[in-house]
């Protein structure tokens, strides 16, 4: 975690400092992270143990909020209609540097801290994507930058975005629609992985919608002509989508997901705009 924090903080800091101050800032950042490592590891462990899924991250959000408040950040809670969405802000003026923090867990992935499958709670949730690290390390980076602003080594504003429900409901989209990101100049994030590196790569935009098909029952022998088949409608629809593929740019793609909800047949159509044009 210390390496990850250092990488994120240094990346955020270099744009605002003169080259000859780089080594000094590196030492200050490393010292800040080292001094806070026990607190940050404790927060990460607590979020791991809480293992709260989308929109239910009450404890996880509070662990992060409490630490941000202890370090002098201004907190705004309950953003975009989500009780566990929040921002933690320090400084004033520009640039406004945003740092993303996620902290939701995944259903059915309960796990103890061992490198093999061993449920902590049978059938419970767990941090299969390491969001306990994600949220904590991002906040640690924000606190380290805050200290440099406080000392006068940097100017501007650092803003930590506590973004819930990433794994299922894309909480950031809700926050974007409500204008929570409108005042930020740049937003950065990272993700737990098996190596520490700065990574610049394109990403996909996503538009998704649901189509619901309902049918009408009729006697299969005596009255079949009055039936309306939801499955026939679904089949025709997906065939149409598949024939449409050859008439769209290679920069676009389609993914179709089928779900049965009681007697309702539902199709989730996801259009991925690759953004290559």
Q: What is the DSSP string of 158-171?
A: EEEEEE--TTTT-H
> Domain check: are 29 and 115 in the same one?
yes
Buried b (16+ CB within 10 A) or exposed e, 240-261: eeeeeeeeeeeeeeeeeeeeee
> Domain check: are 9 and 100 in the same one?
yes
> Domain check: are 176 and 212 in the same one?
no
The DSSP H or E segment spanning 39 is: helix 22-50
Q: How many domains does the chain have?
A: 2
> Domain check: are 80 and 115 in the same one?
yes
Q: What is the pLDDT of residue 142?
A: 95
Does residue 194 sit within a domain?
Answer: no
- What does each of the 277 residues of the chain score in pLDDT, given as a tens digit? 555 554 455 445 444 444 546 778 878 888 888 899 999 999 999 999 999 999 999 999 999 999 999 999 999 999 999 999 999 999 999 999 999 999 999 999 998 888 888 988 888 999 989 999 999 999 999 999 999 999 998 899 999 999 999 988 889 999 999 999 999 999 998 988 888 887 776 666 667 778 888 889 989 888 989 999 888 888 898 888 888 888 877 767 777 776 666 555 556 655 554 443 3
Beta bridge partners of 20: none
Kindly report, residue by residue over 20-33, the tens digit of the pLDDT: 467 788 788 888 88
Q: What is the dihedral sign for C-alpha 214, 220, 225, 226? A: negative
> Domain check: are 70 and 149 in the same one?
yes
Q: How far apart are CA 88 and CA 45, in angstroms?
A: 21
Q: Looking at 139, 159, 188, which one is the last position of a domain? A: 188
Contacts of 25 (CB under 8 A, 6+ apart): 10, 13, 17, 148, 153
> Domain check: are 148 and 253 in the same one?
no
Q: What is the pLDDT of residue 262?
A: 56
Does residue 261 sit within a domain?
Answer: yes
Does residue 196 sit within a domain?
Answer: no
CATH code for the domain in which residue 91 is found: 3.40.630.10
Strand order across the 186-188 sheet: 74-77, 86-92, 156-163, 96-102, 186-188
Q: Are 272 and 252 in contact (CB under 8 A)?
A: yes
Does residue 198 sit within a domain?
Answer: no
Domain span at residue 242 reads 205-273
Does residue 199 sit within a domain?
Answer: no
Does residue 200 sit within a domain?
Answer: no
> Domain check: are 52 and 134 in the same one?
yes
The DSSP H or E segment spanning 258 is: strand 252-261
> Domain check: are 6 and 88 in the same one?
yes
> Domain check: are 76 and 150 in the same one?
yes
* Among 3, 4, 25, 6, CA closest to 14: 25
CATH code for the domain in which residue 219 is found: 3.30.70.360
> Domain check: are 126 and 247 in the same one?
no
Q: Looking at 129, 155, 188, which one is the last position of a domain? A: 188
pTM of the model: 0.73
Q: What angle do CA 64, 66, 67 make, to 5 degrees?
A: 65
Strand order across the 205-213 sheet: 205-213, 264-273, 252-261
* Among 264, 269, 207, CA closest to 240: 269
Q: Looking at 155, 188, 221, which one is the last position of a domain? A: 188
Does residue 164 sit within a domain?
Answer: yes
Does residue 162 sit within a domain?
Answer: yes
Q: How far apart are CA 84 and CA 81, in angstroms?
A: 9
> Domain check: are 19 and 49 in the same one?
yes
Q: What angle do CA 60, 110, 170 make, to 5 degrees?
A: 50
Q: How far apart are CA 47 and CA 28, in angstroms?
A: 27
**For the chain, what's the residue count?**
277
> Domain check: are 25 and 114 in the same one?
yes
């Amino acid at each position: 975690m210390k390496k990850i924090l250092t990488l994120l903080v240094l990346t955020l800091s270099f744009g605002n400092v003169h080259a000859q101050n780089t080594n000094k800032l590196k030492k200050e950042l490393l010292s800040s992270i080292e001094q806070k490592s026990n607190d940050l590891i404790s927060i990460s462990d607590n979020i791991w143990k809480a293992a709260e899924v989308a929109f239910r991250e009450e404890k996880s959000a509070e662990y992060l909020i409490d630490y941000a408040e202890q370090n002098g950040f201004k907190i705004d809670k309950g953003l975009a209609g989500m009780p566990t969405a929040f921002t933690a802000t320090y400084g004033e003026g520009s640039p406004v540097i945003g740092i993303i923090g996620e902290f939701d867990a995944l259903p059915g992935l309960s796990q103890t801290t061992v490198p093999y499958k061993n449920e902590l709670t049978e059938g419970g949730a767990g941090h299969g994507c390491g969001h306990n690290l994600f949220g904590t390390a991002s906040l640690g980076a924000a606190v380290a930058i805050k200290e440099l602003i406080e000392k006068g080594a940097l100017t501007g504003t650092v803003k930590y975005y506590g973004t819930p429900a990433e794994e299922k409901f894309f909480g950031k989209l809700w926050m974007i629609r409500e204008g929570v990101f409108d005042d930020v100049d740049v937003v950065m994030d990272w993700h737990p992985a098996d190596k520490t590196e700065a990574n610049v790569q394109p990403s996909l935009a996503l538009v998704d919608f649901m189509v619901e098909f309902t049918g009408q029952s009729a006697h299969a022998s005596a009255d079949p002509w009055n039936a309306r088949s939801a499955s026939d409608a679904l089949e025709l629809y997906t065939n149409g989508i598949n024939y449409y593929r050859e008439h769209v740019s290679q920069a676009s793609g389609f993914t179709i997901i089928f779900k049965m909800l009681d007697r309702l047949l539902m199709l989730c159509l996801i259009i991925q705009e690759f953004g290559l044009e």
